[in-house]
Structure 1
Amino acid sequence: MTNEESQLTYPFSKPPEYGETLEVAPGVHWLRMPLPMSLNHINLYLLEGNNGWTIVDTGIRGEETREHWRNIFATCLRGKPVTQIICTHMHPDHTGQAGFLSHRWRAPLLMSYSEYYQARLMGTMMEDGNNWFMSDYFERAGLSIEFLEQMRDMRSQFTPEPEDLPIPGSYIRLSDGEEVHIGRNSWEVVVGNGHSPEHVCLYCKKLKLLISGDQILPIITSNVSVMPTEPLGNPMLGWMQSHQKFKLRIPKDTLVLPAHNEPFYGVQERLQQLIDHHEDRMLILEENCVEPQIAVDLLPHLFKRELEAHSMFMGLGECIAHLHCLMAHGRIERTLKDGRYFYRSVDPTLTDPEMSGRHKEPKEATVII
């Protein structure tokens, strides 16, 4: 166990089996669904109300997830219907069954404005891979057009099949600071960004619980990427500011219910760990940009394992996100030469041997979500 891990505590000895639930607080049930990737699960939550259930996040598309949901319906709902569905953010492991569940129960979907419309856009992003802006994004980062062809031709596990119902055509907007009343409990909407544009978390003061989605995870760090659809974006700045915001709004005795790994105590410690982690990654990039570098050549400094296909796409986006944050703080400058962006550190002291090596080495088993 690392020193960082020892600062967190996990109150439950094991997670629920797929298709089963575990009550973690009165009326709050934890369930898991499988994912077809190295990160092999997602945590979902059922909140019991007076007249029905609220589902928080839905799982990835496909018949396997739907079958687990049918088992939950048959064994865990105590005769009550599902009355509403909340998706914390747009990513397909969270929204993949929103259409199925909404149609099955005639239940409304609740999301933030940006996440709902980004979810509807996301399915078309790779289909537009032959557009000039997609090509520019990869070429200016130092990747070849052949890589773009590979990405477009690769059939992702996230790609919907004909039997997968699309995200519902209407929704109810959730906004930061709003209260969602479920049974005798009130859940405050606390919005973060960086991993996604307007990520909804739910905090219940009475129960001392935070459903954090991907905004706060106990072991892995969520991917924060500049995407081809917003090539000049600065999501890392929003990510860091969001963690500072959560440090102010979420008490230290809160039990965090994350979308991956296991529920934990130690939210204040984990938020600081995440801030420190990304500050450290930015220092790595600064130290390795004393001479001008293109983004793709910086990846081995951030990720120990070789990145391919989807992981390359996500790793590159995160590298650029760190670089854009450094640019915003005046620590990196960028120039366009021969169709590629070159990044160079501004701090002249980085050439001093005594100033090098101040960062931590990246871990071998980096997981990108």
Structure 2
Amino acid sequence: MTIEITGNTQWQAWQAKILPPVERVGPGLWSIPVPIPDNPLRYVLVYAIECRDGLTLIDAGWDDDLSWRALTEGIASLGGSVQDVRAVLVTHHHADHLGLAGRIREVSGAWIAMHSLDAAVVRDLPPSDELGRVLGDHLEMHGLPASEARTVVEAMGIHRGPRPAVPDVLLEDGETVRLPDRKLEVIWTPGHSPGHSCFYEPDRRLLFSGDHVLPRITPAIAVHSRTEGDPLADFLRSLDRLAGLDVDEVMPAHEYRFRKLDGRLAAIAGHHAERLAELYTAVRANPAATAWQLAAELEWSRPWAAFDPASKSFALAETVAHLVLLANRGEVRRTGRRPVRWSAV
């Protein structure tokens, strides 16, 4: 095993497929599990830091009444209330991390902080109807028949849900967030999102890793309709940035706490090396295939036929991210526009 599990209660709850309890995980530090409805990840671990003037949260949870109740009850179990929250530090803009930040700000007046690149994603988010159209075009471009693309867009629920909160404070790599009694350093770790950031507390040797490093699964590195650049290359460089960091314990946003960060970093990098090799083999065996066709050739956690439409779209997005990296390495080339096809060099 590349890691040492420290969140044993969390691990046991994960195995039992139940919600773990609110836990004191360090001096003045608590983990509050906030459910993600109808999602295999099940919950986000929101971390509450006790400060002299109130609470600081790292991440906020999904914007849903069930999630809101779990968060408010979790904070109440510490002897506080949402009104005590003074700041919400968000690791990245995804809905299960940023979602409830807006409600928290409305109730408590807390400020929301996030890396400037992810803040720009939120600020520039197009209307839901336009977002759905762009997603459908992107899916068709990578090989989905139009009817299936429409099914995926509907399954994604883009037309439902409130707009995410725009942050008040923009964070940058290397800066220090100074809280009463403690300080957190911002480590920019792009890949899972453009501005994904971990928060490092050197005094206590803690790393709040968001989705960048998880103990069991690898975060989705994907190319979506609005993605720029090479997110998988960014992600692999971000793994390297954390190597050798003086960390006693990792506080991830999902699953359970653990030690031996460097071993986990190496395992995640190794997974992507294996996936790149597998995909290159699939491209060689299926010249001029679309990403949609290639995704069906890869080995996933369950059979391709068992994937629902939304899961297939996520798998497609990850496949395209790996193809982009292979193309930038000069190992494959893309041809055509609608659909895009891929061949080995």
Q: Give TM-score, length-normalised by structure 1.
A: 0.83
Residues 1:87 and 1:127: Cα distance change in structure 2 (over 3 Å): same
Instruction: Please list every run of at least 4 consecutive aligned residues from structure 1 whose deviation after the TM superposition is greater than 6 angstroms.
Output: none
What secondary structure is seen at the aligned counterpart in 1 of 2:30? strand
Residues 1:76 and 1:19: Cα distance change in structure 2 (over 3 Å): farther
Pairwise CA distance, 1:196: 0.4
What secondary structure is seen at the aligned counterpart in 2 of 1:318? helix
- C-alpha separation in 1, matches of 2:193 and 2:234: 10
Residue 193 of structure 1 corresponds to 190
Please say if 1:276 is aligned against 2:270: yes
What is the one-letter code of the residue matched to 1:247?
A: A
Q: 2:235 aligns with which of 214, 239, 244?
A: 239
Q: 1:211 aligns with which of 196, 208, 211?
A: 208
- 2:35/2:70 contact within 8 Å kept: no
- 1:10/1:262 contact within 8 Å kept: yes
- C-alpha separation in 1, matches of 2:9 and 2:160: 31
Give the paired residue count: 331
Residue 225 of structure 1 corresponds to 222
- 2:46/2:57 contact within 8 Å kept: yes
Pairwise CA distance, 1:197: 0.5
Q: Give TM-score, length-normalised by structure 2.
A: 0.89
CA RMSD of aligned residues (A): 2.3
Pairwise CA distance, 1:18: 5.6
- C-alpha separation in 2, matches of 1:158 and 1:267: 39
What secondary structure is seen at the aligned counterpart in 2 of 1:14? helix
Residue 98 of structure 2 corresponds to 95
Pairwise CA distance, 1:266: 1.3
What secondary structure is seen at the aligned counterpart in 2 of 1:47? strand
What secondary structure is seen at the aligned counterpart in 2 of 1:30? strand
Identity %: 25
Q: How does 1:267-346 map to 2 (within 5 A)?
A: 267-290=261-284, 291-300=287-296, 301-303=298-300, 304-306=302-304, 307-336=307-336, 339-346=338-345
Q: 2:52 aligns with which of 43, 50, 53?
A: 50
- C-alpha separation in 2, matches of 1:108 and 1:78: 18
Residue 75 of structure 1 corresponds to 77
Pairwise CA distance, 1:170: 4.9
Q: 2:108 aligns with which of 68, 81, 105?
A: 105
Please say if 1:13 is aligned against 2:15: no
Residue 358 of structure 1 corresponds to none
Residue 64 of structure 2 corresponds to 62
Cα deviation code 1:309-367 (max 9, x no counterpart): 21111110100000000111111111117x32221222xxxxxxxxxxxxxxxxxxxxx
Cα deviation code 1:143-183 (max 9, x no counterpart): 111122113333639931xxx6x444551011111111223
**Bigger-Rg structure (1/2):** 1
Unaligned runs of 5+ in 2: none
Pairwise CA distance, 1:127: 4.5
Pairwise CA distance, 1:130: 2.9
- C-alpha separation in 1, matches of 2:303 and 2:159: 23
Residue 355 of structure 1 corresponds to none
- C-alpha separation in 2, matches of 1:105 and 1:19: 26
- C-alpha separation in 2, matches of 1:275 and 1:175: 25
- 1:28/1:45 contact within 8 Å kept: yes
Moved more, 96-105 or 110-119: 110-119
Moved more, 13-22 or 305-314: 13-22
Residues 1:159 and 1:258: Cα distance change in structure 2 (over 3 Å): farther
- C-alpha separation in 2, matches of 1:94 and 1:273: 25
What secondary structure is seen at the aligned counterpart in 2 of 1:90? coil
Unaligned runs of 5+ in 1: 1-5, 347-369
- C-alpha separation in 1, matches of 2:142 and 2:217: 25
Moved more, 10-19 or 67-76: 10-19
- C-alpha separation in 1, matches of 2:139 and 2:271: 26
What is the one-letter code of the residue matched to 1:229?
A: R
- 2:32/2:47 contact within 8 Å kept: yes
- 2:123/2:166 contact within 8 Å kept: no
- 1:18/1:31 contact within 8 Å kept: no
Residue 264 of structure 1 corresponds to 258
What secondary structure is seen at the aligned counterpart in 2 of 1:103? helix
What secondary structure is seen at the aligned counterpart in 2 of 1:152? helix
- C-alpha separation in 2, matches of 1:143 and 1:157: 18
